[in-house]
Amino acid sequence: MNNIEHTFAQYVRILGRGKKGSRSLTKDEAFEAMRMILNDEVEAVQLGAFLMLLRVKEESSEELAGFVAAARASLPVPDKAINVDLDWSSYAGKRRHLPWFILAALLLAENDIKILMHGTAGRRDNRIYTPDVMTLLGIKNCSSLDDAAQQVSDNNIAFISLEHFSPKLKQIMELRSLLGLRSPINTLLRILNPLGAPHLMQGTFHPGYRAIHQQAAIYLEQAHLAVFKGEGGECERNPDGDCEVFSVHHGEASEEVWPATFKARHLKDITMDVNRLLQVWQGNADDEYGVAAVIGTAAIALRMTGKTESIDDATVQAQAMWDKRDKTHYPR
């Protein structure tokens, strides 16, 4: 029997020594641990233990920054010049309201903001995931980061599924069906920013993660970030309540509260008919909640990208963009 300790065991031990003996990983330790995981240098039992210890503890900002840095280093580098303004992650799926944030991204792209959206389809049938909606809109799922960079250059927006640029991260993410819980991979993906955009839009489900992502962005020297509790965990402002946006601008952290649009909350969307997204964009149907979500989400992006001076100004600009949208543009 081989009694030599596996190199990865030290990282499991750091996390699992108990209430008094355990601690969080440093950024460098987190980087090396994730590097080993992505290079298949760990045993399956080690990976499961590591992910669940982190899940119970909750990852720190330093750990998240280290994981993200290692994941970025594992990605293929596009051959072509990259010109992306805004990174937009989409991994949660929607089950109470339609994914109105997608129309917000299209609205911004129509106004010359170059966006890379990345995400994946989940295994829960009661949610609507972004890849399927993009297909409905005629936006192809890019086959590689090179392809995505070209699509952003040509059309101001591109979508790529996780499995098309990091099959390993997709594989680890899908361990949820075995472990019964989400893992830090779900958190990592929201701040991955695979094409290195200077601006990053991010939605979380748990409010506590806003500060973690904000500090991790500072560790990663992310120039601009806006993270908020999004509807269903997606990057979509819920107009029915106040929205506290945690931001980063050139290393400086700040918070800003966006007031609710409506006094009363809207009921859950019973039909969840994705065709209504197209109908509302084309002006053939109206949806009070949906339009407010589109405008509110786009306004947060405009504020974060430095195109406005205030919340009110951002909202006015987003409304004007919506009123002037090309109703014939989608589906392509």
Predicted pLDDT at 89: 97
Predicted pLDDT at 176: 87
C-alpha–C-alpha distance, residues 216 and 229, integer Å: 17
CATH number at residue 214: 3.40.1030.10
Check whether 1 has a pLDDT greater than 70: no
331 occurs within a structural domain: no
Q: What is the pLDDT of residues 32-71, one digit of tens each?
A: 999 999 999 999 999 999 999 999 999 999 999 999 999 9
Final residue before a domain boundary, out of 74, 100, 117 = 74
Are 236 and 266 members of one domain?
A: yes
As for how many domains the chain has, the answer is: 2
Predicted pLDDT at 124: 64
Are 42 and 117 members of one domain?
A: no
Instruction: State the amino acid at position 33 in one-letter form.
Output: A
Final residue before a domain boundary, out of 23, 41, 74 = 74
148 occurs within a structural domain: yes
How much is the pTM?
Answer: 0.95
C-alpha–C-alpha distance, residues 253 and 218, integer Å: 8
State both tokens at 309: 């001076």
Query: 46 pairs with which residues across the strands?
Result: none
Q: Are the beta carbons of 231 and 94 closer than 8 angstroms?
A: yes
Residue entry with tokens 């955009």: 197
- Residue span of the structural domain in which 69 resides: 9-74
Backbone φ and ψ for 256, nearest 5 degrees, come out as -150, 130
332 occurs within a structural domain: no
Q: What is the pLDDT of residues 133-172, one digit of tens each?
A: 999 999 999 999 999 999 999 999 999 999 999 999 999 9
pLDDT band at residue 82 using 50, 70 and 90 as cut-offs? confident
Final residue before a domain boundary, out of 53, 74, 95 = 74
- Nearest alpha carbon to residue 314 among 156, 153, 104: 104
Are 277 and 184 members of one domain?
A: yes
Check whether 184 has a pLDDT greater than 80: yes
pLDDT band at residue 177 using 50, 70 and 90 as cut-offs? confident
Q: Mean pLDDT, to the nearest integer, of 214-231?
A: 98
Check whether 237 has a pLDDT greater than 70: yes
Q: Which helix (H) or strand (E) holds 314?
A: helix 311-323
Check whether 29 has a pLDDT greater than 70: yes
Q: Are the beta carbons of 173 and 51 closer than 8 angstroms?
A: no
* Cβ-based neighbour number of residue 120 at 10 Å: 21
Are 233 and 147 members of one domain?
A: yes
Check whether 293 has a pLDDT greater than 80: yes
> Quick check: helix, strand or coil at residue 202?
strand
> Quick check: helix, strand or coil at residue 102?
helix
Residue 112 Ramachandran class (φ > 0 left, ψ -120 to 50 alpha, else beta): left
Percent of the chain topping pLDDT 70: 98
294 occurs within a structural domain: yes
Are 49 and 105 members of one domain?
A: no
Are 17 and 109 members of one domain?
A: no
